[in-house]
Structure 1
Amino acid sequence: MANGDIHALSDTEWLDAFVGQWHLLSDLSFSDLLLWLPDEEFDSFTCVAQIRPVTGPTALEDDVTGEVLEFEPDNPVLVAYLTREMSETSDNELSAGIPVDVLAVPVIRGDRCIAVMERHTNQMGVRAVGALEENYLEAAEVLTKMVLEGNFPLAPPSDKALEPKAGDGVVRVQPNGSITYSSPNAVTAFRRMGVEHDIEGENFSDLVASMWEGVESVGQTLMADLQAQRSVVFDIERPRASMRFVLLPLVVKGETEGMLVLCRDTTDLRRRDRMLVTKDATIREIHHRVKNNLQTVAALLRMQSRRLTSPEGKEALRDANRRVSSIALVHDTLSHSFDDDVAFDQICDRILRMAGDLAAASGTVDARRVASFGVVPSEAATSLAMIITELVQNAVEHGLGSGSGKVEVRPQRVGPNLTVDVLDDGAGLPEDFELGQQTSLGLAIISTLMKDHGGTLELRNREDGPGAMARIKLTF
């Protein structure tokens, strides 16, 4: 997310981005944070978000989100909202008897205060001050000043799954580019990347360039971003390790205070991603081989059909060939898919072309799909393909009498519910037709598959013209 994009957001979207990044403020200050919004009548505040630190003990045992705070003249939230300045109090008499420091910080956007961030710090859990605590608290104070100036949230971050947190690794970079602090987890990550020396005192841009050495050339744009200390997210991948970096420029009153660099060892995540990619490729290869095997079976059925002299035998093998081919279509689609859902429109269109080709010897069939199936779960795609195949074939053979005419497939999708109408413009069903009294193998297959998926089948004559209509209803 670029800075320009940040400024283009609505207040609600901007506060969503604020809450998406305030884990930094919480972890670096070792404090619980609450976000208070004034109501429209301006007579109370409502807590709309809460976060606890992962770097220290909580100061708030209960969840405050949703609570309403009535306006009181000396309340720090109200004072901060009205004055646009921080308001601090100390409360040593909380319900658990824990001394807690409370700081109310106005959340500024442009020239407006749109909310108040309240910071609660558990003084009983204050850690012994060391290099980590000093640098964390210093960075937290800079970020708090940026909240006051309307410069927080920062840009980016990007992928939430890979986004580094303060606990993953923090590096403090001064305006001149030198590293003055690196947290223990950050040091460990750098060691895994092959950096064996102490990085404090080094130039951050030079360090990044050295880590990239032997892997690939560093892009000129990235190096320019590093040297200019702009917001950027990038990854460094070496043969046995990888890291993600998020660079956050710290600017107070228009003056740069250097950068806060969050880093995360993503080696295990990348290895898992590669395993998933390999697994996905293996599954697609399996679908491809199943499709090839089914096509081989279909070819064998065609060869056997040519050797038969019995018309009934030839017709039976042609039907079997058609059913096997419809299943092969699903596996062919799955072999090119990267997820568990199947875009069923292309499968239906290929089934319709196949039906038209089979009927070409005795007539011309205009078979088409009207509207979209959407995506269908892979476990239901094979059954749906066979059902559509049988319904279309029944429309061609019985509705059109294997002659010329039109067949339309009209899917209608509403959430998980799918209704499909298969219509022809043939002679229609006889007056005494009753579903369930037929000995057709195709209808038996359809009924069995519909029962397996909890669906329903209806066959009746069309009301909008000549011909018959088959309607199926399924829920995925």
Structure 2
Amino acid sequence: MKHNNQIKKFCEDKTDLNEADIDYLIRQSEAVLSSKEFMDKDVFIDVKNIYSDHAIVVFHRKPHTKESLYEKTVVGQSAFLENEPGVLRTLQTGVPSVGLRGQSQEGVAIEQTVFPITRGEKVIATLIVESDFSNSFSSSFSLKPSKGDNSYIFQAPSESSREDEVSLLDYVEDAVLVFDQGGFLLHCNQSAVLLYRTKLGYLDSVQGMHYDNLSLDGTIFSELVEDHFSDSNKTVKYGKHYFQVKCYPNARNQQTVLTIRDISDLKEKDKEIQESVIASREINHRVKNHLQTIISLLRLQGAQVKESGTKVAFEDCINRIFSIAATYELLSSQEHEQIDLKSLIEIVSSNLQRCFAERPDIQLKLELCDQIYLDHNRASSLALVINELLQNAYEHAFSNKKYQKNKKNQCIRLQMTKNDDIIRIQVIDNGSGYNVETVGQEHLGLILVQRFVDSKLSGRLVTTSNHEGTQVKIIFKV
């Protein structure tokens, strides 16, 4: 049958329904065709279009006892939230929408009753029963044809039930709706009026509507009361909007208060932040990979170098690049831009231990506090500084032959503490020491340390050295 093929085609192309869902929907359409209910109404089946915030018409049964509201076929056309709020509401919540006003694809004022079509726990479509509403508007409404087309402009009075009084609720930014003990809307503030008209597409007055026709989270009034308003604070995604919905009873006058706050902007900002974090992590991952590639190339080149001084220069360069890559390795594996210094120092230290594997007689001891973080720029600088200090200690602290004969417990200690907002890092060895006044001015690594501590960390560098060993202190503010 033609309508079966249409349903199958539209559902396969524009929905996420599986084959079993589509077969079930086709059976429902066949049941509608054979049913004798709503013989004087236009009956539709709409499904959610996954590529937009709209629904799409996949089935239409015209009335048997009167003329259809539609001159042309609307199968395959979209149902927009601003024109048919009941359709999108029921698809979203799974709750029937009874007697909601709307506007057809041909600009006719209509009244819709919308039922969910469910399979298991899933709302797969809606069944819509439509009737002409253009000749039965309430006298409080004005329906005028718009210029240039067949659509209509709806003009409704203020929703306030007490126009001569100033309601304090109108100064509340959240939408506030107050229902009587039967679940019918007694009054609401102007924020609620604007919410339902401009964002939820309700074309008629919500005054006097039942809670079941206004809820956004799929709850119905009777169940809400039976559950004593448990779980009445929810975040609801409704179309492209997000709402914070709260519902609570007013026992004094047996009324129920519903508040709705539009948090779409907050959610959008959260989404932008998450996307930025993901993009940043991807960039950091790529930078780390590029640095690792450079390290590999330098190692290949260094392996061909025969002159010892040049080979040492290659190794120094490789270790410096690795200390920077360590920062990006951490950044690429976490969700924030702050670097855990303990993890960073452990990576840099582990690399140096591998580089000096031929010196198992030198012990490297780490005494590091937890929960100390730095931004990635300063963390990278600190990683370079620590790399230089440890490498310098490995290469020079225990190189004196006379010292090696007399000293058995050769040790380098790296300590990190934090008091208030001051970080103190110490690299201490029990080597032979050196002349701080002369060596520091000639050694490239120590020159880099001094400059990075001054310019990147805005800290102080204090070095003391004698025949008992060397102590380097780095003190800076978080």
Global fold match (TM > 0.5): yes
For residues 288 and 132 of structure 1, what CA distance do their matches in structure 2 show? 62
For residues 400 and 436 of structure 1, what CA distance do their matches in structure 2 show? 16
Tell me which of 453, 462, 471 is aligned to 1:458.
462
For residues 327 and 164 of structure 2, what CA distance do their matches in structure 1 show? 59
CA contact (8 A) 2:161 2:187 kept: no
The equivalent of 1:200 in structure 2 is 207
Tell me which of 166, 172, 189 is aligned to 1:166.
172
Q: Say yes or no: does 1:386 pair with 2:384.
A: yes
The equivalent of 1:236 in structure 2 is 236
Q: Secondary structure at the match of 2:251?
A: strand
For residues 394 and 294 of structure 1, what CA distance do their matches in structure 2 show? 23
Amino acid corresponding to residue 173 of structure 1 in structure 2 = F
Which deviates further from its counterpart, 257-266 or 315-324? 257-266
The equivalent of 1:423 in structure 2 is 428
For residues 472 and 459 of structure 1, what CA distance do their matches in structure 2 show? 9
Matches within 5 A, 1:391-470: 391-401=389-399, 405-425=410-430, 427-430=431-434, 432-434=435-437, 437-452=440-455, 453-461=457-465, 466-470=468-472
Amino acid corresponding to residue 424 of structure 2 in structure 1 = T
CA contact (8 A) 1:168 1:264 kept: yes
CA contact (8 A) 1:230 1:247 kept: no
Change (3 A) 1:436 1:183: farther
TM-score, structure 1 normalization:
0.58
Q: Say yes or no: does 1:366 pair with 2:358.
A: no
For residues 161 and 257 of structure 2, what CA distance do their matches in structure 1 show? 18
For residues 413 and 302 of structure 1, what CA distance do their matches in structure 2 show? 37
For residues 278 and 225 of structure 1, what CA distance do their matches in structure 2 show? 40
Matches within 5 A, 1:141-160: none
CA contact (8 A) 1:229 1:259 kept: no
Amino acid corresponding to residue 313 of structure 1 in structure 2 = T
For residues 303 and 436 of structure 1, what CA distance do their matches in structure 2 show? 31
For residues 309 and 411 of structure 1, what CA distance do their matches in structure 2 show? 39
CA contact (8 A) 2:323 2:383 kept: yes
For residues 132 and 335 of structure 1, what CA distance do their matches in structure 2 show? 59
The equivalent of 2:31 in structure 1 is none
Aligned identity (percent) is 21
The equivalent of 2:477 in structure 1 is 475
Q: Secondary structure at the match of 2:368?
A: coil
How far did 1:251 drift? 3.2
Q: Secondary structure at the match of 1:176?
A: coil
Q: Say yes or no: does 1:263 pair with 2:260.
A: yes
Change (3 A) 1:409 1:135: farther
The equivalent of 1:300 in structure 2 is 297
Change (3 A) 1:379 1:327: same
Tell me which of 339, 352, 356 is aligned to 2:336.
339
Aligned residues: 308
Change (3 A) 1:246 1:134: farther
How far did 1:196 drift? 4.7
The equivalent of 1:176 in structure 2 is 182
Residues 391-450 of structure 1 show CA distances to partners (whole Å, capped at 9, x for unaligned) of: 11112222233987332221121233211111123x2314x4426644111101101101
CA contact (8 A) 1:243 1:264 kept: yes
Residues 19-44 of structure 1 show CA distances to partners (whole Å, capped at 9, x for unaligned) of: xxxxxxxxxxxxxxxxxxxxxxxxxx
Q: Say yes or no: does 1:310 pair with 2:307.
A: yes
Residues 122-164 of structure 1 show CA distances to partners (whole Å, capped at 9, x for unaligned) of: xxxxxxx963886956x89xxxxxxxxxxxxxxxxxxxxxxxx
Q: Say yes or no: does 1:323 pair with 2:320.
A: yes
Q: Secondary structure at the match of 1:395?
A: helix
The equivalent of 1:28 in structure 2 is none
The equivalent of 2:192 in structure 1 is 186
Q: Secondary structure at the match of 1:434?
A: helix
For residues 223 and 407 of structure 1, what CA distance do their matches in structure 2 show? 69
Q: Secondary structure at the match of 1:243?
A: strand
Q: Secondary structure at the match of 2:182?
A: coil
CA contact (8 A) 1:193 1:241 kept: no
Change (3 A) 1:405 1:219: farther
How far did 1:454 drift? 2.3
How far did 1:466 drift? 4.5
Residues 316-349 of structure 1 show CA distances to partners (whole Å, capped at 9, x for unaligned) of: 1111111101101111112233333221110111
For residues 196 and 355 of structure 1, what CA distance do their matches in structure 2 show? 71
Amino acid corresponding to residue 190 of structure 1 in structure 2 = Y
Change (3 A) 1:472 1:226: farther
How far did 1:456 drift? 1.5
For residues 468 and 444 of structure 1, what CA distance do their matches in structure 2 show? 17
Change (3 A) 1:136 1:436: farther
For residues 164 and 290 of structure 2, what CA distance do their matches in structure 1 show? 64
How far did 1:272 drift? 2.4
For residues 298 and 225 of structure 1, what CA distance do their matches in structure 2 show? 67
Amino acid corresponding to residue 451 of structure 1 in structure 2 = D
Matches within 5 A, 1:281-300: 281-300=278-297
Q: Secondary structure at the match of 1:428?
A: coil
CA contact (8 A) 1:205 1:223 kept: no
The equivalent of 1:67 in structure 2 is none
- What 5-or-longer segments of structure 1 have no aligned partner? 1-128, 141-164, 213-217
CA contact (8 A) 1:173 1:204 kept: yes
- What 5-or-longer segments of structure 2 have no aligned partner? 1-159
Change (3 A) 1:189 1:319: same
For residues 337 and 225 of structure 2, what CA distance do their matches in structure 1 show? 39
